Structure 1
Amino acid sequence: MKRNNIDLNKFFEEAIEDEEQEASEEEEQENKNISFEPFIGQCFQSEEEACLFYHKYAKQYGFSIRKARFDKNKDGEIKRRDFVCHREGLQLSKMVDPVLKQRNTPSTRCACKAHMRVTLKKSFEIFSEQWHVTEFIVTHNHELFSQEKVRFLRSYRFMTKDDEKRILLLKDGGLSVKQIMCVMELEKNVRHGHLSFTSKDIHNFFSKIRSEQAKNDVLDFFEYYKIAKEENQYFQYSVTLNGEIKVEHIFWSSAHCFTWYQSFGDVMIFDTTYKINAYDMSLGMFVGIDNHGRTILFGCALLRNETKSIFSWLMRVHLAIEDIGQNQLQARMLEKYKGGSLRTLSPPKEQAQKVLTPFSFKKIQEQFERATHYTVHTNSVGGFVVHHYVQGDTQKHEVMENG
């Protein structure tokens, strides 16, 4: 039974490989059957139509094209255009900074002469102007790509707007680039590796998004902090500006971090990390330990440099936040005890506070406060007179002592 399972698995693998091979052969055969090659005198209605035709031709034969030389007439309109092989010409020498790290990637250009030239002219006087193929060189001085490899050339890789939206949505869902590629292949029902873009294109797309967002990151930063402060008053932050009115140092503490600080801020550790973030700034962290022995975060800071003045600023921010915490704690206590119970404790109250729970101590305070509303005096017949003062009204009670 085990042998049969192995044979079946092998059978299915071979069937899938044969199917993929047949699909590839059918695709190549279809491309071969569509025989279109430019020829001298061929006409096009527009320059874009000529470019699209040569583009399809190039993909069929294993290379890509780009627009090159052009001529203009007296009115400034293009009257001649060359479409050349992507390996046409030679790489120009350029000035490099020896201090900076160079990529030193080899150039793909090899002075290939293959091209198609189109010229805007009339075939006859009675016809309108059209783009005519006036020169066509088919020979390349390099090896052409197969159909399996030509799709990796830059000219044939693209992402639509819908693809970009879908990729960003999958990224927000926590998927990696490799997982995004797999999901997109399943959704488009294409074979593995046959999307119109590669994983490198996705990485470049993410880099482009980050570059665009970096232009307004300071405004987004202030907007986020403003909203966070409005949503929760315990959110704390502080910013310093340099002489050019640009953000220099940033400190922030989230609402839950600030709550942790109020409870476990007796012991705190401050440390900075190496400059490994996108802003090339040191990241300072205030950390501590909670009642379960776990490391907790009190606040973070992005620092442009690590000087004595910067650390002094951080300590001042720390003290200011501590004052904020004390003021908020005092405000909550005033709201809770309504002021009267926050007076200086008498010796009996102070002793009761040390031995009683907060709830019991509160009841004791209420009894002490209630006791101040009564006065007791002895009368001539050996009894007691109790006066109860309530909102300006005095009530008198006589209590007789029974022998």
Structure 2
Amino acid sequence: MSDSNYHTKTDSQLVRKLNFEDEDSPLVIVEQPEPISINSKDKIHANVEEEVIPKLGIEFETKQEAYDFYNSYARVVGFSIRRSKGHKGDKDGSRKWLDRVSFCSCEGIRGNDKRDDNVKCHRLETRCGCLAEMKISCRYGEKYCVVKFVSEHTHVLASPRKRIFLRSQKSINPAQAIEAKLADSSGIAPRASVGLMEKDGRMKLDYEYFGDVVCFDTTYKKNKEGRPFALFVGVNHHKQTIIFGAALLYDETSETFKWLFDSFQKAMFGKKPQTILTDQDATMAKALASQWPETHHRLCVWHMYQNAAKNLK
């Protein structure tokens, strides 16, 4: 293990007690005990369940299963992994991997590149010669077996809050991949998706402060299929219109409104508005009486004026 992970006894690591009132007082130096390596085996596995830790002799049906197991262990401990060297050969009439090694992503040292002199912004150095690895082999059996495991690291491990950002821990399911592809084909960049999620958090924060009175409107806009676009709108302390939430409804039945109000309440951590303003829709009123009976239901004056202008002569 690298010596960089061990604390050496230097002047900067000694506690010095000074008495400024007495000029002749001697300098008192108290030596602190030397700590152990921050990433020793005992330290790493202190809070890790036994069945998650790789052990010599564990067998896997496929090398992908072995990789997933080691990656799950890496997620718990706090590091990223990558596949590295291995050997292929003929076995049982087919060519397959005879052994494979999965390394910590900090393994090795970045080599020199003749183009480095022309680079203005150098990438951050992420490799520090870490020796942590897990090697599997199927040379002596039908299944892949763990033949080597090194748990010690030569670098600081990621905290629990940052482990989801490690490269090998990032993954998307097939549905998310299809959605991302559709968004890209529609011209929606990843940055726009992140902006939408940021606005969603802002809506929840606004609702927490200004969600006592909510105006619910399904007549704001309709798409070409004729499906109503529903908005939960409010007013902040600057008398500015703010949006708490939105939904694209398939129809305007009572069951649809019940689902919508229930989903909105769950998204807002169970908080219900004290007063809600709507149009004169009977199915909406029925859904409100069922889902939010304690909320005061009032009709929007603007809709009343519009209906009066259309129906009264």
TM-score (norm 2): 0.42
Report 1 or 2 for greater relative contact order, CA contacts < 8 Å, sequence distance ≥ 6. 2
The structure having more radius of gyration, on CA atoms, is 1
